[in-house]
Amino acid sequence: MAMEFLRPATWDEALAAKAEHPGALPISGGTDVMVEINFDATRPEYLLDLTRIEELTDWSADGERLRIGAGVTYTSLIADLADRLPGLAMASRTVGSPQIRNRGTVAGNLGSASPAGDAHPPLLADDAVVEAHSARGVRHIPITEFYTGVKRNALEPDELIAAVLVPPADGPQQFAKIGTRNAMVISVTAFGLALHPSTGTVGAAFGSAAPTPRRATKAEQFLAAELTESGRWDSRAELDPAAVTRFGALVAEAATPIDDVRGTADYRTHALSVMARRTLVWAWTDYRRKRVRTCA
Amino acid sequence: MNAAVSVDGDAETTANGKVVGTTVPRADGDAKVRGIAMYGMDYTEPGALTVRVLRSSVPAARIVRLDTSKAASLPGVRAVATAADTPGTSGMLVVKDQSAFAREDVRYVGEPIAAVAADTPAQADAAVAAIELETRPLEPVFDLDEALAEGTRHIHPGWSDYEVAVEGHRGGNLAWEARVERGDVDAAFAEADYVVTDEYRTPRQHQTSIEPHAAVARYENGRYTVHTPTQFPFMVRDRVAEHLGVRPSQVRVVVTEIGGGFGGKLDAMLEPIACVLARKAGRPVRLVNSRTEEQTTCAPRENAIIRLRTAVSRDGTLLAQEAEALSDNGANSSGETVLCANVPALVLGSTYRIANVRYSSKVVYTNTAPTAAFRGVNGPYSVFAREMHLDHIAAEIGMDRRELRMKNLLRTGDTMINGQELDDACLDVAMDRLNEIAPWGERRSEDGRLRGIAVVPATWLTNPGPSAGAVRLSEDGSVVVTSGAVDIGTGALTGIRQIVADELGVPFDQVLIAHPDTDTAGFDNGAQGSRTTFGMGAAALDAATRVREQVLEAAAGMLEVSASDLELAEGHVAVRGVPDRRVSLAAVAGTAMWTTGPIGSTGKFAAPPVNFDAGCMTGALFTHMIGVSYHAHLAEVEVDPDTGKVTVTRYAVVQDVGRAINPGLIEGQVHGAVAQGLGYALYEDLRLRDGVVIDTGLESYRLPTALDIPPIETELLENPGNQGPLGIKGAAEPPIVPVAAVVACAVADAIGSPINSLPLTPFSVLAALRGRDSRDESSRSG
Ligand SMILES: Cc1cc2nc3c(=O)[nH]c(=O)nc-3n(C[C@H](O)[C@H](O)[C@H](O)COP(=O)(O)OP(=O)(O)OC[C@H]3O[C@@H](n4cnc5c(N)ncnc54)[C@H](O)[C@@H]3O)c2cc1C
């Protein structure tokens, strides 16, 4: 079956094309789409190439949030935004290989909505918002409402992702991933942590351990309360080891993993608790060091 | 023993203008780097049809009905082939139990049942889908022990009718057995202070060459011509002929560039199918495997079980050893697994002194894809078992692990278990050198990570196969070598050019090598077991020596001096001591052309005979070692106690190469072999469930990446052998052999718990750590 290749030059044309052909498959970096097509797993009637639309590759500061265009690659995100979005940049560095990072985009990761996508935990931990456009208008989808099932997301058939809106880090962020080797690896499980001292809240989320990327809400609430009640946001005193352990256990509790070719459910749950504890210790060490620097 | 050679010398010629011993850049490198090289999968012929293969989806069944008539009548379909078109029964040299297409029974998932050739891929796919196949399931056999058990269904009910090259122990699901027995094993066990027993299990490892198998065949003038990226063109020729029931001379194999093989491209796979369809269609056909077909049907390293029992005295002397090695043959003997049946025994008994042994190596049929050679064949798992078992012994008797090894190490003049004397053994030198590079001792960690270290010595061989070559002097003074040797990607043919260049005193770039073609080249035993520089190098040197004599004779006439007063250098023949009196090789070639006739000669090599005790072995096809080399590897590892992740922090290799023709190329082979060995140790496991390969692609079948490989410290020892040319020993295969062993021993050291199976995934290491912790707890509470 022939595939038609649509190459809109402007965003409006793209939205019009998507409205006219809701079944058209958008293609950005193509690092997911081309694999599917090459293996004959998908045969869409229309491919909608978004790479001619230059404005998609821009990022900007949009009020409280950074606005990352849908065409921004992992490579440029790492180069330009690692200081303001350290968690997302850490996750980006673990994606595939240099070639994949040169083409792949966060929007593509969102489009695929794989539970194993590495961008998801930091986006969840940092309260990102997906900016979806259609010929009908603009819709802001909170990231927690974006993932609707295994490889399914909340986009309407006529919608495209224009950008992802992410608040710049107001505290330390961490990301950890376990794979069966050191590069070019889909995570066995991954974990993202963002501490938000300005609001006294915590973001904690994981991938590859549930049908969708997921926040560990109870763990977030526990840790936020623990840090607030003990006065540690201000004192920056060392963490209570029991609290670190509890945090790890609560993260693991939030997971509902399965056994698959990459790893077992049991290992995933265990590894999540390890990563949660470790990233928390790293992040807190970072937070304490920052104070020393400001005092000096 | 010469001093260690430097591997990073970049001089292109030595002081005397010679290129042997220098890192000449690979002659095939430029085209490969630029993407110009024409690999097997790039090759096609005008009008070539696309071939698709109908493969079995079940592991064991009787074929009740196979009807291809509907498929044959579909548009674009030019030919359909089934077992009726391939009457022969073939196999890798020893047991002939394989048909190109399943005949009465299918014996593994992925076995070819029929194939079609059509104008387009879509038409070929449609035709495959239209083939009508009815089967009745048979009881499948997967487990090695169960396969050998009384009452298990025989996968080859007609096994006793198969043709065999030599007689051996076999029967039912035992495809082959090799035995070695020496000394008085029972008496030694009766005297022992300690008896240590272990069992080890290892997985299938896939060669995973970047280029899949591919074949383009045509049929003309009653002969088949097939272009294929094979490691062993003469084997493919003979196997195609056997399958098709024609004479080998009716088949011509032309070798393309090869995008990797590692043993996976020694046997005929797609070639017989392509040839039969080319004849039936009357058109060229092209057949290229998908990655999934590669992973599921192309002959990986066999999974194995090794059981060891060793009698030891209090002072660490190895008194006696018993071993049973079970290797999975898969559904037939199309690979080298039967041929290599005795390798585990040779490996177990070639590095340490053990006077009394009883070894049995069994190759077992199962309803799985056939297994075959992969770099190092049975070596990596046999050394893994041997060395982990030694660590167990060391722990049992309370002896330092290195000391136990040094105490029992074979020294110069000692004999291996086959009675073969090692008159050039230098295992002790290699171990000592390693100890200077990284002194032995405990590795402690300050950060909670578990650290471990291990050293492993190993002895390895060079494939002894024969070779023929031809060398001729062209009219412009350049030299052309014709041979059936292929460059599988190691750069071996660059080494051949270096040898010939020095013998004839011509610059390296003046030596060319003709493309291997079984119609024009003499026999060569294939790119396997590091033999190309050794065997083909010897044949090329033999031919070049004769060419040199012809050159000197012709030049002597031209310069009016005695041939003994002449020397060859820089493409000229000169009177020794009078460099001005010289003639160019072009002039010599031109003169000879019309006087003595064109200058050229053939050359040949066969491995010299070796003394060993043939009486201690039965069923052994590998009885002894040729071009024996000696190795010592060191690994240091860190283990994350919470996740089980293993990081190799240091890796060092000291390797006896006999004589380094091209040190840089050898170092490249060491790096590649260690990387593949680390893959086997840490990541790779071609998993099967109920006979179905789970890892159908490279997403779940994990090869190591550059980020998984530590810097590899390499030191080459030159300890010249006397069986190959110029002291050469095989160098490319052996560095994979000790890798899994040394990594596993280091991990076991780090976690304080033995390792009995591979690979060392985070999951298995974590499980081993938890097992240790629960043992500790139970011993504390108890
Ligand atoms: C070798 C390899 C290694 C990889 N390693 C990793 C890894 O380590 N971690 C990881 O997370 N992923 C990995 N991936 C997957 C992939 O690279 C990522 O998911 C990447 O983020 C996809 O981005 P893309 O721009 O290439 O998306 P595309 O392939 O172009 O698109 C992906 C999906 O998003 C949709 N889409 C794209 N843009 C839009 C838009 N603007 N609006 C709406 N829908 C859109 C597409 O229709 C498609 O469904 C790997 C892939 C390969 C081939």
- ipTM at complex level: 0.92
Q: Select the residue of B645, B683, B705 nearest A183 (Cβ to Cβ).
A: B705
Inspect the interface and report whether the beta carbons of A274 and B643 lie closer than 8 Å.
yes
Whole-number Å distance, alpha carbon A237 to ligand 1 midpoint, is 41
CATH superfamily of the A173-295 domain: CO dehydrogenase flavoprotein, C-terminal domain (3.30.390.50)
- Beta strand pairing call for A46-49 and B646-656: unpaired
Q: Give the model's pLDDT for residue B444.
A: 76
Q: What is the pLDDT of residues B312-370, one digit of tens each?
A: 999 999 999 999 999 999 999 999 999 999 999 999 999 999 999 999 999 999 999 99
Mean pLDDT, residues A213-241 taken together: 97
φ, ψ of residue B506 in degrees (nearest 5): -115, 155
Inspect the interface and report whether the beta carbons of B645 and A185 lie closer than 8 Å.
no
Task: Give the position, in ligand 1's atom list, of the atom nearest the Cα of A33.
Answer: 29
Give the C-alpha separation, A296 to A11, whole Å: 49
Q: Say if ligand 1 is within 6 A of residue A102 CB.
A: no
The packing angle between helices A217-229 and A241-254, to 10°, is 160
- Tokens matching residue A292: 């020393």
Please, which pLDDT band fits residue B776 given cuts at 50, 70 and 90? low
Inspect the interface and report whether the beta carbons of A180 and B766 lie closer than 8 Å.
no
Please, which pLDDT band fits residue B8 given cuts at 50, 70 and 90? very low
Res B2 pLDDT > 90 = no
- Beta strand pairing call for B214-220 and B285-288: antiparallel
Q: Give the model's pLDDT for residue B7.
A: 47
The percent of residues in chain B predicted with pLDDT above 70, rounded, is 97
Burial class, B216, CB count within 10 angstroms (exposed 0-12 / middle 13-18 / buried 19+): buried
Give ∠ CA B763-B767-B771 in degrees, rounded to 5: 175
Q: Say if ligand 1 is within 6 A of residue A103 CB.
A: yes
Q: What is the pLDDT of residues B634-663, one digit of tens each?
A: 999 999 999 999 999 999 999 999 999 999
* Residue of A28, A77, A189 with the most ligand 1 atoms within 8 Å of its CB, for mutation: A28
SS3 state at A164? strand
* Residue of A95, A110, A133 with the most ligand 1 atoms within 8 Å of its CB, for mutation: A95
- Report all structural domains of chain B as residue ranges with CATH numbers, in order of start: 29-37+465-605 (3.30.365.10)
User: Which chain A residue lies closest to B678 (C-alpha atoms)?
Assistant: A181
Residue B273: strand pairing partners: none
- Tokens matching residue B181: 């027995």
Residue B693: strand pairing partners: B688
Residue B517: strand pairing partners: B254
Res A84 pLDDT > 70 = yes
Contact list, B708 vs chain A (CB under 8 Å): 181-183
Ramachandran quadrant class, B448 (left: phi over 0; alpha: psi -120 to 50; beta: rest)? left
Domain boundaries, chain A: 4-166, 173-295
User: Among the residues of B467-596, which ranges form H helices?
Assistant: 492-504, 537-559, 585-594
Res B777 pLDDT > 60 = no
Q: Say if ligand 1 is within 6 A of residue A223 CB.
A: no
Please, which pLDDT band fits residue B1 given cuts at 50, 70 and 90? low
- Tokens matching residue B518: 């079984």
Mean pLDDT, residues A152-176 taken together: 98
Q: Which CATH architecture has domain A4-166?
A: 2-Layer Sandwich (3.30)
**Cis peptide bond prior to B759, omega within 30° of 0:** yes
**pTM, two decimal places:** 0.95
Chain B interface with A: residues with Cβ < 8 Å: 642-643, 645, 682-683, 687, 694-695, 699-700, 702, 704-708, 761-763, 766
Q: What is the pLDDT of residues B543-596, one digit of tens each?
A: 999 999 999 999 999 999 999 999 999 999 999 999 899 999 999 999 999 999
Inspect the interface and report whether the beta carbons of B700 and A261 lie closer than 8 Å.
yes
- CA-nearest of B749, B736, B538, B552 to B639 is B749
Res A293 pLDDT > 60 = no
- Tokens matching residue A256: 């509902």
Contact list, A186 vs chain B (CB under 8 Å): 699
Q: Say if ligand 1 is within 6 A of residue A50 CB.
A: yes
Answer whether A160's CB lies under 8 Å from A26's CB.
yes
Q: List C-alpha distances in Å: B526 to B529, B534, B773.
A: 9, 12, 50
Q: Tell me, what amino acid is at A253?
A: E
Q: What is the dihedral of CA B240, B341, B671, A96, to 10 degrees?
A: 70
Mean pLDDT, residues A52-61 taken together: 96
Q: Give the model's pLDDT for residue B632.
A: 98
Q: Say if ligand 1 is within 6 A of residue A35 CB.
A: yes
Contact list, B702 vs chain A (CB under 8 Å): 180-181, 185
SS3 state at B645? coil
Sheet strand arrangement including A214-215: A173-178, A189-196, A201-207, A214-215
Alpha carbon B122 to its chain centroid, in Å, reads: 36
| Cβ–Cβ contact A274 with B under 8 A | yes
Q: Say if ligand 1 is within 6 A of residue A172 CB.
A: no
Give the C-alpha separation, B733 to B628, whole Å: 12
The packing angle between helices B379-397 and B739-751, to 10°, is 30
Q: Give the model's pLDDT for residue A63.
A: 84
Answer whether B205's CB lies under 8 Å from B680's CB.
yes
- C-alpha distance from B701 to closest chain A C-alpha (Å): 9
Whole-number Å distance, alpha carbon A62 to ligand 1 midpoint, is 25
Query: What is the pLDDT of chain A when averaged over all its residues?
Result: 95
CB neighbour list of residue B593: distance below 8 Å, 6 or more residues apart: B475
User: Which residue has the CA at smallest separation from atom 5 of ligand 1?
Assistant: A96
Task: Give the position, in ligand 1's atom list, of the atom nearest the Cα of A99.
Answer: 1
- Tokens matching residue B441: 């001792």
Burial class, B19, CB count within 10 angstroms (exposed 0-12 / middle 13-18 / buried 19+): buried
Q: Say if ligand 1 is within 6 A of residue A205 CB.
A: no
Mean pLDDT, residues B127-154 taken together: 98
Res B445 pLDDT > 90 = no
Instruction: Calculate Rg over the CA atoms of chain A.
Output: 20
| Cβ–Cβ contact A148 with B under 8 A | no
Q: How far apart are the first and last CA of chain A?
A: 68
Task: Give the position, in ligand 1's atom list, of the atom nearest the Cα of A31.
Answer: 26
Give the C-alpha separation, A169 to A241, whole Å: 25
Inspect the interface and report whether the beta carbons of B695 and A184 lie closer than 8 Å.
no
Res B779 pLDDT > 60 = no
Let me know if the fold of A4-166 is the same as that of A173-295: no
Please, which pLDDT band fits residue B780 given cuts at 50, 70 and 90? very low
Give ∠ CA B246-B251-B254 in degrees, rounded to 5: 160
Task: Give the position, in ligand 1's atom list, of the atom nearest the Cα of A34.
Answer: 29
Neighbour-count burial for B709-745, b at 16+ CB within 10 Å, e otherwise = bbebebbbbbbbbebbbbbbbbbbbbbbbbbbbbbbb
Q: Give the model's pLDDT for residue B774.
A: 66
Give strand ranges (E) for B203-240: 214-220, 223-228
Q: Select the residue of A97, A182, A186 nearest B699 (Cβ to Cβ).
A: A186
